[in-house]
Amino acid sequence: VTTPQATSCSDCGAGKFSPAVGAKSESTCLDCYAGKYSNSTKASSASTCIKCPNGTTSMVGSNSSASCTFFENSTQDQKDINALIGGLVGGTLVFLCGLLVFLSKKHKQALKKALTTPIDTKFEIQDDLYDRAALMSLANIMKNESQDYTQEEKDAIEEGKKLYIRCTESKKAEDNVSIVGKESSTVKHDEELDKEEQERIANIIRNEKQVYSEEEKRAIKEGKEFYERIRGGTTFKKVVSPDSNVGLKIVHNDGRGGCCGFATTVVDASVEECAAEGLNFDSLYYQMRAKRLNISERHVKYINSHSLYYATTRNNGFFIKSFDTRSICTWMKEKESGNVLINFSDSKEFMEEYPAKDGNILCSARAFFLFEPLDPVQGIPRTAASLAMRVDIGRSIPSVVASKHGKQLASILSDLRELFDKTKEISVRKRRLDGEADQAALDR
């Protein structure tokens, strides 16, 4: 260390080191960290500091091995440290997810101020991050010191916990999609939960009487009229569907930004099962469908057992702005035909709670699902599933983009068909019945 008037350097004392060259102040001499000591002078590196023997620690800036003393309760302290490490690792994801909340517009200004405010304390992160003394200090604070939190901090923690749950659920769904076809206890567990929820919703549709308001009846009626117009439209163009088992036709209204489509298929399930899966917004099927349709965010608010509000944000790549939709969904089972109908239409009420995001395009969207019961095959129920959809962004979009979105319409029914596909089971049953018939003929 030198001073402006000095002609020679002064050594850093024992227990200290300084990596600085040409330093002009003794403050550049840094203390050895807690749990280490050094009896050397002139030290220029932290590596000069020697770690205390196992089971001992020392104060910051210790200059001899005599400074290393034993812990009073080594076993319990180790448990505290292990618990702390586990808490730190487990809490990292909570922190990261919680940070996303603070990055929202509401907290940007406060976060910017916090990041630009000078901080006096320096945290030196070295190879000895897990030094026992430092960890013990943190463990003692968590274990013994009561903390007071502002309401804003409490709200932020709650938001972080909710976001953590959504993050883990989303990650779980992505993992399961990526390992389709492989045995996994996680996949089995999720499929079991999905099955239970699907059966619960299906039983409501199948058994529970629903009372509809005049507004809900009108929405279903308008949805059926919309469906018939789309199904019977003469200006549609048949296109090659990504799934040969799904019929698809679309029309693009140039200059208006509108795109209409109609898709149909046959599903190896009852009408109640098909409708229930379409209304189960937490299932793996929905997660797959959302990923395929580039839905990055969604909100569901239940009104009653047959109606709900539904909001989505859909990413369209770098060159096209994201689309927002705000809808109300109502389902109904027709007593005479046994058909199940699901209608999605624009909702002004949900716009107040979830307004369109800045920079996004608010779309007008309508969708109508019709599930019609068919005769069973080999004892397996079957359903004719069809979907009519219209999306209008209120501005011109290229035909190629409209065609791409139209083809994604087919994927909704394709995913549903594949989810319930029982082709192999039907084939096995048919072969068994044919074999029994042949044997009966031989017996005669």
Among 48-52, 59-63, 248-252, 394-398, the minimum mean pLDDT is found in: 394-398
Note the residue count of the chain: 444
In sequence order, which ranges of 103-184 are alpha helices (DSSP H)? 105-116, 132-144, 151-178
What pLDDT band is residue 126 in, cutting at 50, 70 and 90? Answer: very low
Q: What is the mean pLDDT of residues 150-169?
A: 73
Least reliable range by pLDDT among 248-257, 351-360, 391-400 = 248-257
The residues near 406 (Cβ < 8 Å, ≥ 6 apart) are 239, 248, 250, 252, 259, 261
| pLDDT, tens digit (0-9, with 9 covering 90-100), for 407-436 | 777 888 888 899 899 988 888 877 777 677
- For the segment 34-51, the average pLDDT, to the nearest whole number, is 86
Mean confidence (pLDDT) of the chain? 75
d(C-alpha 306, C-alpha 130), whole Å? 55
User: Model's pTM, two decimal places?
Assistant: 0.55
Q: Are 301 and 350 in contact (CB under 8 A)?
A: yes
pLDDT of residue 289: 75
Where would I find the H helices in 179-312?
185-207, 214-231, 271-279, 284-292
C-alpha closest to that of 349 among 395, 303, 282, 389: 303
The confidence score (pLDDT) of residue 137 equals 57
Q: What is the C-alpha R_g of the chain? A: 33
Residue 128 has pLDDT above 60, yes or no: no
What is the reported pLDDT for 274?
94
Helix axes 74-102, 151-178, angle to 10 degrees: 90
Find, among 141, 150, 138, 131, the residue nearest to 36 by Cα. 131
Residue 55 φ/ψ region, left for φ over 0, alpha for ψ in the -120 to 50 degree band, beta for the rest: left
pLDDT tens, position by position, 351-371? 888 888 888 888 888 999 999
pLDDT-derived band at 73, boundaries 50, 70, 90: very low
Q: Positive or negative CA dihedral for 297, 301, 306, 310?
A: negative
DSSP secondary structure string, 267-292? ESS-HHHHHHHHH-TTSHHHHHHHHH
- When pLDDT is cut at 50, 70 and 90, the band that residue 214 belongs to is very high
Q: How many angstroms separate the CA atoms of 387 and 264, rounded?
A: 6
- The model's pLDDT over 275-285, given as tens digits with 9 standing for 90+, comes to 999 898 878 77
Q: What is the pLDDT of residue 328?
A: 93
3-state secondary structure of 231: helix
- CA angle, corner 289, sides to 285 and 293, nearest 5? 170
> What are the beta bridge partners of residue 251?
260
Q: Is the pLDDT of residue 151 over 80?
A: yes
Is 280 or 180 the better-scoring residue by pLDDT? 280
More confident: 170 or 300: 300
